[in-house]
Amino acid sequence: MLSTLSKIARISQTRFLRLSHSAAAAKDAKPKKAPAAAVDSPSFVMNLFRGKAVTDQVFPYPLNMTEEQKETLGMVMSPLEKMLIEVNDVVKNDETSDIPREVLDKFAELGTFGVLVPPELEGSGFNNSQMARVAEIVGAYDLGFGVVMGAHQSIGYKGILLEGTDAQKQKYLPDLATGRKFAAFALTEPTTGSDASSVRTRAELSADGKHYVLNGGKIWISNGGFAEVFTVFAQTPIKQADGSTKDKMSAFIVERSFGGVTSGPQEKKMGIKGSNTTEVHFDNVKIPVENLLGKEGEGFKVAMNILNNGRFGIPAACTGAMKHCIQKTVDHITTRVQFGKKLEEFGNVQEKLVEMISKLYATESIVYMLSSNMDRGIKEYQLEAAIGKVLASESAWHVCDDAIQVHGGMGFMRETGLERVLRDLRIFRIFEGANDVLRIFIALTGAQHAGKHLAAQTSGVGGLIGLAVARVTGGNTGSNFGQVVDASLQDSAKALDQQIGLFGQTVQGLLIKHKKGIIDRQYEMHRVANAAIEIYSSAAVLSRATYAIKNKSSSADFERKVATYYVEKAMRSSNRYLKDAGNASDNETKVSTIASLAKEVCGNGGLTLQHPVEL
Amino acid sequence: MKILVGVKRVVDYAVKIRIMPDRSGVFTEGVQHSMNPFDEIALEEAVKLKEKKLATEVVAFSLGGPKSAEVLRTALAKGADKAIHVQVSDAEAGKLESFHVAKTLQKIVEQEKFDAVFLGKQAIDDDSSQTAPILAGLLDWPQALYASKVEDGGSGHMKVTREIDGGLDTVKVKVPFVLSADLRLNEPRYATLPNIMKAKKKPLKNIPITELGIDISPQTQTIEVTEPPVRQAGGFVEDVSALVAKLKEKGFVKA
């Protein structure tokens, strides 16, 4: 048992190294070492996989902006909104598939392209929570513009900000923060999508050791057409201890002016059309060695650090988009009359609206939990960030879809301005980590963590007997919800606690049953991830509502009701996902049915169905 | 020319105003506030004059509660060189009248020797439109109210254009003078993040009202604040003759 379980940990780590990205994980994955010791994690979601409620990063709600930070943010919010209305034309951007450079220059003046860069380097010196609020506003008005902004600063030059040397920062950040130059993040290639470490672009050191010579092609690069600074990921040959060389990914800062950098035409896309998306090609580009970003061979780590760090921008933008859709919905249902009543008087319309509000509330609660945790220096938030991205992009999609539905035929019309938002939102479930891959990443990273602990536990004195007892009794989550959740929300907290316990048991059951094979149990892992999303978002919601009640927020009572509504529903879903995932005998049949149906159609090269009219 | 610009912190123009249940005023707690839009225009004009080298220094002024410092910092971010906050309590701020503001401005002008005071033509909260003329009276300075264009008038004068019913009125005022800004005078610039950051280093002087020895006891009493009447739903008429008949019936046209 011990050996198999620890192997699960190792195998899933090496196999999912492409997805997992903390420095610790990379270190643990060193080959042929004794099983890595089970390390305690401060992350709520990590512990969830062990059936434990570790709430330090969740309670009390960590948002803690100083008065000065709030004031500065407040000062820039209204000019930003005004500019998004008066200077930027979202409809035109969508129609022409372009955002004019003059418009970008105006926003550059406002300081929106250097939000997180310190003032010494000509940036605005905001923290992540302030940045999230900015991204939220942009998301409410123009998601395409949001992508230009995000591609530039959340990923394009984020690597320089996070991993750059002082010289690199001094050289590049002032121009980038002020929008004098734009940046892009170049990772994706024709054969490299979700599997990020499989890039083929190569950089080899020149004979004199002064340059790397870069060759290869990248696709779907946001800002690719006009960016002048690229963060590029390429394979570099690395000498191994045994004298052989092995290709490993490295990150580079590449300037268009180095020569040999070309970009293709603007891609024709479904949405976010205003954002520029092109191929970028590198033909014998000479990169000075000092433009290596991070250490040679550690490009994967750099990429994951950037993506992980910038990930909260997506839920923030989605939060803004949801607010926009909700406002449109309210405007419509309070004026539109059908069957002699305003739409707002119909129960089904009310339910749709409340569903939108609760989804928004959950997403927003996660956004500012995540950003403030990052602001207070918490390093382990990869699973929480992944959950935020998945939940936000899907919530926003459903909110916008429902907003269109409530608008009826009017919702389908361009003029209403919702169809564009729906088209724009579609990509958010795909890019920056496809939601399907992120789900498996969440489930397997968590399961691996639980697996290590399980292995350590079974080798201890109590051994298997103790484990069996714990399983039967359901174990204790060790939660402190009684103290940290407001008294009026204790029923919700109890339901949450119960699901955390069930989650731990379910994961443990799956680990014991499938052992290392768990990495191929996507049917169960998908459901486990869904339950994790419901549970973490509920915890965030309860924390936020408790915070509002404690601070006597003007909407405290409203928030209490929304929180109760959300958690009740989320816990019902979680229970169903976990029951599904843990139903071993049923799942065998279901999984094999799915596999055989899919195999038959794929083997046939298309549908095998006979048409009912037999023609 | 040293210009003093008055900027008032008011409930943001986009906020839906809610009346307090006891009808004593409107809700201001937890409500988005910003600089009075007409004051923004006055400030922009002063900053523009400085950029044209017609003014040497622009100082922003606000009389109000502790949070008025926010609009002063916005003013600094938009180009004011210094700021003066004459502070009262929040309770007192709600009861200030144009007369008190003019009195305070007069004191500051006399203490710090300004050559012009630029104000918005009115604040969007109480719509009094009184401060500029009262101040001109107190200082015994010429006034140019509702300005839509400000130019150098030569030999120590400014030429100010005002929009009046049916045309434009151009006045030449001798410096020092009081100006109030109308809507079409200019389009104020945005406060940019880099400038907001730089503004943090600009001086903002806080003076408690008691230090100036100005009496701010109210001269008026608010009896009641109510919502404007809700517009009654209209009705449809069959044709023009029915419409005319209805209008006659209601007495809107002569029978």
Lowest mean pLDDT among A240-244, A444-448, A555-559, B65-69: A240-244
A interface test, pick of B13, B192, B198, B231 with most A CB neighbours within 10 Å: B192
Residues of chain A found within 8 Å of residue B66, distances taken between Cβ atoms: none
CB nearest to A76's CB, from B12, B32, B196: B196
Q: Tell me the pairing of strands B57-64 and B82-87.
A: parallel
Chain B residues inside the 8 Å CB shell of A78: 12, 34
**pLDDT tens digit string along A126-175?**
999 999 999 999 999 999 999 999 999 999 999 999 999 999 999 999 99
Q: Which residues in chain B have their CB less than 8 angstroms from residue A178's CB?
A: 194
- Complex confidence, ipTM: 0.73
Q: Quick check: A75 and B74 CB within 8 A?
A: yes
Say if B48 falls within a structural domain. yes
b/e string for A540-555 if b means 16 or more Cβ within 10 A?
Answer: bbbbbbbbbbeeeeee
User: Residue A457 above 90 pLDDT?
Assistant: no
Nearest-CA distance A552 → chain B (Å): 11
Domain A67-177 CATH class label: mainly alpha
B58 min Cα distance to partner chain A (Å): 20
- What chain B residue is nearest to A84 in terms of C-alpha separation? B190
Report CB contact under 8 Å: B12, A78. yes
Our CA-based measurement puts residue B27 at a distance from the nearest CA of chain A, in whole angstroms, of: 12
pLDDT in tens, A333-372: 999 999 999 999 999 999 999 999 999 999 999 999 999 9
Catalytic residue among A136, A432, A524, A559: A432
Interface size, chain A vs chain B, as Cβ–Cβ contacts under 8 Å: 48
Pairing of strands B177-181, B116-120: parallel
Q: What is the least distance, in Å, from the CA of B220 to any CA of chain A? A: 31
The minimum CA-CA distance between A271 and chain B, rounded to whole Å, is 29
Taking CA–CA distances from B192, the nearest residue in chain A reads: A110
Chain A hits for B191, Cβ within 8 Å:
75-76, 79
Confidence band (pLDDT; 50, 70, 90) for A571?
Answer: very high
| Residue B248 resides in a domain | no
Euclidean distance between CA atoms B158 and B161, whole angstroms: 10
**Domain of B47: which CATH number?**
3.40.50.620
- pLDDT in the model for residue B253: 85
Distance from CA of B70 to the nearest CA of A (A): 7
**Dihedral angle, C-alpha A143, A144, A147, A149, nearest 10 °:** -90
Closest partner CB to A71 (pick from B30, B73, B190) = B73
Percent of chain A beyond pLDDT 70?
91
User: Residues of B with CB below 8 A from A131's CB?
Assistant: none
User: Which residues in A have their CB inside 8 Å of a CB on B?
Assistant: 71-72, 74-76, 78-79, 82-83, 109-112, 114-115, 119, 122, 124-126, 178, 554
Contact A111 B29 (CB under 8 A): no
CATH (residue range A311-429) = 1.20.140.10
Q: Which residues of chain B have a pLDDT value below 70? A: none
pLDDT score recorded for residue A21: 40
Task: Report CB contact under 8 Å: A178, B34.
Answer: no
Residues in CB range of B151: below 8 A, 6 or more apart: B158, B159, B160, B161
pLDDT at A554 over 90: no
The structural domain count of chain B equals 1
Please answer yes or no on whether A76 and B29 come within 8 Å at the CB atom.
no
Whether residue A124 and residue B30 make contact (CB cut-off 8 A), yes or no, is no
Mutate to test the interface with B, among A66, A67, A78 (most CBs of B within 10 A): A78
Kindly state whether residue B237 falls inside one of the protein's structural domains.
Answer: no
The predicted pLDDT at position A463 comes to 55
CB contact under 8 A, A554 and B29: yes
User: Mean pLDDT over residues A209-229, rounded?
Assistant: 96
Q: How do beta strands B116-120 and B82-87 pair?
A: unpaired
What would the mean pLDDT of A493-505 be, rounded to a whole number? 97
Separation between Cα atoms, residue B112 and residue B207, nearest integer Å:
13
**Cβ atoms within 10 A of the Cβ of A330, count?**
16
pLDDT score at B236: 87
Give the pLDDT of residue A29.
42
Q: What's the domain range around B46?
A: 2-226
Closest Cα in chain B to A121: B194
B90 domain residue, yes or no: yes
In this prediction, residue A507 carries a pLDDT of: 96
Nearest to B190 among A82, A125, A178 (CB): A82
Cβ neighbours of A72 in B, within 8 Å: 193, 196-197
Residue in B18, B76, B193 to test binding to A, most A beta-carbons within 10 Å: B193
Burial code (b: 16+ CB inside 10 Å, e: under 16) for B76-104 equals bbbbbbbbbbbbbeeebbbbbbbbbbbbb
Q: What is the C-alpha to C-alpha distance for residues A250 and A235, in angstroms, rounded to an integer? A: 6
3-state secondary structure of A295: coil
May I ask the CATH class of domain A2-59+450-598? mainly alpha
Does B157 reside within a domain?
A: yes
* The pLDDT of residue A78: 84
> Which of A75, A83, A111 minimises the CB distance to B194?
A111
Nearest alpha-carbon partner for A157 in A196, A128, A115? A115
Q: Given A75, A122, A554, which is nearest B77 (Cβ)?
A: A75
pLDDT(A243) > 60: yes
Q: Spell B148-184 as b/e; 16+ CB within 10 A means b.
A: bbbeebeeebbebbbbeeeeeeebebeebbbbbbbee
Mean pLDDT of A27-46: 68
pLDDT at A11 over 70: no
State residue B36's pLDDT score. 97
> According to the model, what pLDDT value does residue A584 have?
87
pLDDT of res. B30: 79
Q: Stretch A89-110: mean pLDDT, rounded?
A: 95
The reported pLDDT for the residue numbered A472 is 46
CA distance B36 to B188: 12
How many contiguous H segments (helices) and E segments (strands) does chain A have? 23, 10
Residue A552: its chain B contacts at CB < 8 A? Answer: none
Q: What is the pTM of this model?
A: 0.86
Q: Which of B70, B190, B194 sits opposite A124 (nearest CB)?
A: B194
Task: Give the residue range(s) of CATH 1.10.540.10 domains in chain A.
Answer: 67-177
pLDDT value at position A25? Answer: 40
Q: Which of A238, A224, A231, A235 is nearest to A191 (CA)?
A: A235
Residue A109's closest chain B neighbor by CA? B192
Enumerate the residues of chain B whose CB falls inside 8 A of the CB of residue A114.
193
Give the pLDDT of residue A615: 86
Cα Dmax for chain B: 70
Of all residues in chain A, the one with the smallest CA distance to B69 is: A71
Residues B245, B237: Cα–Cα separation, whole Å: 10
DSSP 8-state assignment for residue A156: I
Tell me the CATH number of domain A183-300, given options 3.30.470.20, 1.25.40.10, 2.60.120.380, 2.40.110.10: 2.40.110.10
DSSP track, B42-73: HHHHHHHHHHTTS-SEEEEEEEESTTHHHHHH
- C-alpha gyration radius of chain B: 21
pLDDT at residue A198 in the model: 87
Residue B240 lies in a domain: no
Determine which of A426-430, A439-443, B11-15 has the lowest per-residue pLDDT on average: B11-15
Q: Are A510 and A447 in contact (CB under 8 A)?
A: yes
- Between helix A556-582 and helix A490-514 the angle, nearest 10°, is 20
Render pLDDT for A442-451 as a digit per residue (tens, 0 to 9).
Answer: 999 999 999 9
CB contact under 8 A, B197 and A125: yes
Domain contains B254: no
Q: What is the pLDDT of residue B70?
A: 92
Closest partner residue to B192 (CB to CB) among A82, A109, A125 is: A109
Stretch(es) of chain A classified as CATH 2.40.110.10: 183-300
Residue ranges of chain A assigned to CATH 1.20.140.10: 2-59+450-598, 311-429
Closest residue in chain B to residue A115, using alpha carbons only = B193
**CB contact (8 A) between residue B196 and residue A75:** yes
Beta bridge partners of A201: none
Respond yes or no: is residue A432 known to be catalytic.
yes
Contacts of B196 in chain A (CB under 8 A): 72, 75-76, 111, 124
Alpha-carbon distance B239 to nearest alpha carbon in chain A (angstroms)? 24
For residue A539, the model assigns a pLDDT of: 98
Contact across the interface for A72 and B197, Cβ inside 8 Å: yes
pLDDT value for A470: 55
pLDDT range class, residue A466, cuts 50, 70, 90: low
Q: Phi/psi of residue B4, each to 5°?
A: -100, 130
Structural domain includes residue B178: yes
